[in-house]
Structure formats: structure tokens, C-alpha cells
A and B are shown apart, each in its own frame.
Chain A
Amino acid sequence: MKKSDRILNFVLPIITVAAVVVLWAAAAQAVDSEYILPTVGETFTALLELFKSEEFYRAFSGTLLRSFIAFFISYVLAFFAALCSYKSEKAKRLLSPLIVIIRALPTIAIVLLLIVWTNSRVAPVIVTMLVIFPTLYNNFYAALCGIDKELNEMCKVFGVKNAERLKKVVFPQIAPELISAAGAGLTLNLKLMVAAEVLAQTARSMGYLLNTSKIYFEIPTMLALVLITVITGLIIEFLFGLWAKKAVKK
């Protein structure tokens, strides 16, 4: 990559973020009401208040933990489902309608139903699992289809054992896709989890804090919570992006 491209890659996101902040500041000044659109300063004050509160850390860690659990289960299931589809046309045909149905599920309705069927902690986990499953499945299936069949034949001819073939030939080919899918999936997962927690009123969760802030009309706190969710998602995606790049270089 050229030096000028590297500089642009660094500078352009900063310009974009700065533009959003300037717009926000201008809009907040125009509205001039903390209860409709708080200023940047009011939001950052609320952010600092959140960082001082023990309740926030309990909620944040609870949401993150549930996100990771939902993501991990969905990731493993989607990978095995994609593997089955890749290996067998029949399995692919069997899974195909299921994927379409899962993708078409109305998220909010499912959260409400799951609250009735399970409880407020389990419902967001199941719903986020269901929502990211089709995306992960499609990513994994595409990655598996991208495996070089000629290299598989080569391994067969040279009698390369299955474990070694998977480790040295197959897995490195799909690793970048698996890692970047993990990054994007986790970010989406986190957003969905917060939304589901709001509906499910999950105790010790970001969603619960958001809902409480809404009830008490604490708009700066609500914006601060949204900001934290966005930044956490960006950090996750950035870290996984770096990891994926490293995997591609290898």
C-alpha cells in the first residue's frame, strides 16, 4: 500500500467522525434542549458518570458475556451446518429452507415470544443466535466453496493425512473468512443483544440501562450508552480485522 493511501486510511475516518460530531454539536445548539438532543459535552459528562458507576460495569459485562455466548453457539452451529451443506447436496437442500425461515423471522416478535417461553436472560441470547446464524452460515459456506479442490486432489495423491490436510492446507484457506466473519458477526451480535435486552428487560444489561434512562428521560445517558455500544463494536471489528489481515499474510 502506498504511503499516501496509508495516510488517507488514517485521516479519512477521523474527518468523518469529526464531521458527525460537528453536525451533532450544531444540531444540539439549534435544538437547545437536553431532553431532545443533548450537547456533546452533556453526553460526555454522562459517559464519565457511567464509567464511575458499578452498575454500568455489571450491565456492560453482562451484555458482553451474553453476546459472546450467543455468538459462540451460533458460530459453531453455523460452521457445522455450512460444512454439512458443503459436503452433501442433500444436507444443503434440507438446510436451505430452514435458513430462509430463520432469516425471515421478525426479531421483535420472536423476542416477545421467547420471553414468554423462556426468561429475560435467555431470550436475547436465543434471538441474537437466530439472527446472526444465517449470515454466518452463508459466509462459512462461501468460504468452504472457495477451498481449492485441486489442492485437495494433490493431498489425496500424496497421501497427506486428513488432520494434516485440514491444518496445513484447508484451514489456512478459510481462516481469513472465518476471522472476519467473527468480527462482523460479533459487532452485529452486540447491537442485536442490546436491542433484545431493551425488549426483554434483562436485568444487569445495557438494554436495561437504556430502558431505565428512557423512563427517567436521561437522554445524555442514553446517548452515552449508544456511544459505548458503537465504540465496543468498532473495537471488536478492528481487532478481528487486524487478525484476519495477519492470517491472510501467512
Chain B
Amino acid sequence: MISLKNITKRYGDKTVFENFNLDVQENAITVVLGESGSGKTTLLNMIARLTPFDGEITGAEKVSMVFQRDRLVPHLTVKENILLANKTADVKALLDSANLAGTENLYPKDLSAGMARRVAILRAFASTAPLIMMDEPLVNLDLSLKYSIIGQIKRLRAESGKTVILVSHDVKETVMLADRIVVIGGGKIIYDKPSATERALTNVLLNNFHA
């Protein structure tokens, strides 16, 4: 179990989280839904220890991540980028599984946006870390690509048995991906259920943020 206990995070005078608590179920995709500026990325950065905070996070000693921008190293090939996360990864098998066979020796500049995103996701799953965090992995992708990547994430998660925490601001993506949905706003959890319909989730957002 990954636990966030009494987390407080401030940027100057602005308090993003105050005594925030969250338990994340293992072997599942937990989607954290929230509006822009609600602290979704900050939450992931705290779990990854990329930003300081007060409080305690347990069960997330080793993590991997899909960043909002792919953060592939431009002068390394696809294969080298994946091996950066795990030297013993079976790159060929991973690429084959994502319909990216033959791209091992390409550089990120040679990839389309969708291919680069897939490689970033594969790199995260190639890592031996049991927890993968994804920061809006479907942002700026067209619809068919989104569906294809949603399928890829669900399949890789099921095959690897890893825990995924994914943040999103999109209701539709959340419903399609989540084994558990957590809506955050104002530094608090507003909604926390295993599933929801798009309509119910939209209502939660409307009632809490736009009433």
C-alpha cells in the first residue's frame, strides 16, 4: 500500500495541500482527477521526491514516471532511452508489444508525437519500480491515438502487475482508465470511488468547482 500521510505543501504563501491523506491501492490504476492548478502534478512530484514537502509518504521508495512532456533524451536512440530506466530490459519485446518494432535505433526527433509518448510509457514500464506515475499521458494527442494509448496502458499494467497513479483533467479518459477515481480540489479529496459514469463525474466537478 502506498500511503500519503499528513502531506502539506506550500509554494510561498499558496497552500496546495494541507494535511492531505491518501492510500493508493496496489495493482490498479488510480486516476487523480482535478482541474488545472489543483496540485495534480505537485502530488506526483512529491511522491517522486522531486519537490520537498511536509508529511510522510510510504511504499513509494522506487518509482518510475511518464512525464507530461515525454522527456526522451534527444541524443539517445529509442533503445538507449528505454535502457536508461533498466539496463536489462527486453527492449525488442517491449517495442513489439506496442507496435513499435524497428524503431530501436531511431532518435526521438524521428518519432511522431504518438510514438514518442508510447516510448515514454514503455520506458516507465521497463523500469523495475513497482509504482508508475503518469502525468497527463494523453494530453495533446488526437482521439484515435488516445484510445490506442489507453489500451496500451491498461494492457501493460495488467501484464506487469504494477501500480499506476495517473493524473488527468479529462473526465472521459478518467472513466476509461481508472480502477479507482480520486477527485481533488482545494487541497482536499472531493470524490473517491472505484468507478463512475462520465455524467456522475462531470456533476461532481460542476457541483464542486462551478456551482
Contacts and interface: CB of A to CB of B under 8 A. Distances in A.
Contacts of B64: 157-158
A172 interface: yes
Given A153-B50, A157-B48, A157-B65, A250 B75 contact: yes
Given A158-B84, A168-B80, A151 B73 contact: yes
Contact of A158 (B49, B69, B127): B127
A157 B63 contact: yes
Contact of B71 (A151, A172, A250): A151
Contacts of B63: 157
B155 interface: no
A172 B74 CA distance: 10
Contacts of A95: none
B53 interface: no
A172 B84 contact: no
A166 interface: no
A168 B50 contact: no
Contacts of A172: 75
A131 B71 CA distance: 39
Interface string A161-200: 0001000110011000000000000000000000000000
Interface string A89-102: 00000000000000
A169 B85 CA distance: 13
A11 interface: no
A5 interface: no
B50 A169 contact: no
Contacts of A159: 62
Contacts of A157: 48, 50, 63-65
A156 B51 CA distance: 12
Interface in A100-120: none
B69 A156 contact: no
A154 interface: yes
A169 B73 contact: yes
Q: Dominant SS at the B interface?
A: loop
B191 interface: no
B101 interface: no
A54 interface: no
Nearest to B71: A154
A153 B49 CA distance: 10
A176 to B, nearest CB: 10
B117 to A, nearest CB: 14
Interface in A208-250: 250
A168 B75 CA distance: 9
Interface in B43-59: 48-50
Most buried by A among B63, B73, B80: B73
Contacts of B76: 168-169
Contacts of B20: none
A158 B73 CA distance: 13
Interface string B73-90: 101100010001100000
A36 to B, nearest CB: 54
Contacts of A173: 75
Contacts of B85: 158
Interface in B99-147: 123, 127
A164 B69 CA distance: 22
A122 interface: no
A27 interface: no
Contacts of B73: 151, 154, 168-169
A169 B76 CA distance: 8
A150 B67 contact: yes
Contacts of A156: 48-50
Contacts of A169: 73, 76, 84
**A-B interface, 3 closest residue pairs, ranked by CB to CB distance from nearest:** A154-B71, A158-B85, A172-B75
Interface of A: 150-151, 153-160, 164, 168-169, 172-173, 250
19 contacts: A151-B71, A153-B50, A154-B65, A154-B67, A155-B84, A156-B48, A156-B50, A157-B50, A157-B65, A158-B64, A159-B62, A160-B84, A168-B76, A168-B80, A169-B76, A169-B84, A172-B75, A173-B75, A250-B75
Interface of B: 48-50, 62-65, 67, 69, 71, 73, 75-76, 80, 84-85, 123, 127
